Structure formats: structure tokens, C-alpha cells
Amino acid sequence: MGEKVDIGAFTYLNAKHGIIIEDHVQIGSHCAIYTVSTIDGKNGRIILERNCRIGSHTVIMPGIAVGENAIIGAFSFVNRNISKNMLAYGVPVKIIRPLTDDEMAVHE
């Protein structure tokens, strides 16, 4: 776990296969991050890169990487990798657009 990480209340982390959380990552409340899925048998490490932000009530499935500065909107279902500097949200998650320079600023 990196420095200045914020994990919201009631967030569930299943770390059986490892979760890497880099510096300045923000995870909203009531999120669920799974490295194992008993529904489809998938498993794999989760990587949350520097300064990414995960909205409240989001679910991240096994083997996913969320890129540096990326923003995941609230109530999203993340079942694919999200590239750095992107805004993504939805069920399932979709890439919406690249972020502006202001949106990528580190929030300390």
C-alpha cells in the first residue's frame, strides 16, 4: 500500500491473490474489490495505480488494473482494465473520455 491512500468505510478487499495500491489512491465507501470470483472462477491480482480514484459502491473484478490518474465513477462494475488518464463508469464499465490536466492533478 502506498502513501496517502484513502479507503472509504465499508469497503471490502479480497486480497487472496494480491492487491497493489499505489500512492494517492482514493477508494470510495461501500466498494468491493475481488481477487477471487466464486461465480465464474476467475482470479488474479488487482493493481490500482498512482492517483486513481474509485467511486463509491464500485465493484472491481479479479485481474484488473486501473491506470494512473484514472477515475471510475460511482456504482460501476469494473470487468476490464482501465488505461491511465481516463474517465470510466457504468455497468459494465465503459471508457467515457480522456481526463483534462486539471482532473489528473494529485489531490493531497
Chain centroid to CA 97: 16
Give the side-chain half-sphere CA count within 13 A for 88.
29
Nearest 5°: the CA angle 22, 53, 72 is 130
What is the residue extent of each domain of the chain?
A: 6-97
Provide the pLDDT for residue 107: 61
- Asked whether 19 and 27 are in contact (CB, 8 A), the reply is no
- Which CATH architecture best describes the domain 6-97? 3 Solenoid (2.160)
Read off the pLDDT of residues 58-87 as tens digits, 9 standing for 90 and up: 999 999 999 999 999 999 999 999 999 999
> What is the rounded distance in angstroms from the CA atom of residue 9 to the CA atom of residue 18?
20
pLDDT reading at 108 higher than 90: no
Query: Percentage of the chain surpassing pLDDT 90?
Result: 91
